[in-house]
Amino acid sequence: MSAAPFLCKSPSMERWTVVELQRNSTNWATLVEEIVKLEKKIFPKHESLARYFDEELKKRNSGLLYVDLDGEVTGYVIYSWPSSLSASITKIAVKESHRRQGHGETLLKAAIEKCRSRPIQRISLHVDPLRSPAMGLYKKLGFQVDSLIKSYYSSDRDAYRMYLDFDEN
C-alpha cells in the first residue's frame, strides 16, 4: 500500500492520511468490504455502486483513494480515465460523523492530482443537484455545470454533468 503525500490535521487535531488502494495489497478484501458498507449506508440504492465495487475497482483504468484515520476508513473517492483525454470522478463520500473537517476536499484534490499526472484535458462527474454539500465542494475546486440530465438516477432524480478543464500548458 502506498500513501499519497497528504498528511492532514483536522480542527479536532485528529491525524489522517489519504491512501491509494493497491490491487495487490493483502488487506484489499477487508478494505473494500469496509468501503462497500459505507457506500450502502450513505447512498440510496439507485445511486449506490455497492454491487459493482469489485468490478469497478478491478478495471485497469480506475483508482480509489481513501482516508485512513487510525485504521478506520472515513471517506473515499473513486476515479477513472475511460479515454486518454478524459477522466471522471465516479464517487466521493465521507462518513457522516467526519464531515466538514476537510476530508472530502483533500480526497477530491488528491484524485484531481492523480488525473493530472496523465495527459488528460477534462475531468467530468455527475451529481444530483439536491446534494448541496457535494455541489459546494465541486464548485470550490473549480468544477462548472455543463448540463442538466433529466431522470439520470431514477425517474424523478436528475443529475448535473459537471466538468473541470486543465490548462493546455
Ligand X SMILES: CC(C)(COP(=O)(O)OP(=O)(O)OC[C@H]1O[C@@H](n2cnc3c(N)ncnc32)[C@H](O)[C@@H]1OP(=O)(O)O)[C@@H](O)C(=O)NCCC(=O)NCCS
Cβ burial 74-106 (10 Å sphere, 16+ → b, else e): bbbbbbbbeeeeebbbbbbbbbeebeebbbbbb
Is the distance from CB of 104 to CB of 16 less than 8 angstroms?
no
Q: How far is the CB of 108 from ligand X (least distance, A)?
A: 8
Q: How far is the CB of 10 from ligand X (least distance, A)?
A: 9
Return the number of the residue (14 or 105) whose C-beta is nearest ligand X.
105
Measured at CB, which residue is nearest to ligand X? 104
Residue list 93-152, contact with ligand X (CB under 6 A): 93-94, 99-105, 127, 131-134, 136-137, 140
* Residue in 19, 38, 65, 92 binding ligand X, rule: CB under 6 A: 92
Residue list 34-63, contact with ligand X (CB under 6 A): 42
- Interatomic CA distance for residues 89 and 82, integer angstroms: 11
Residues binding ligand X (CB under 6 A):
42, 91-94, 99-105, 127, 131-134, 136-137, 140
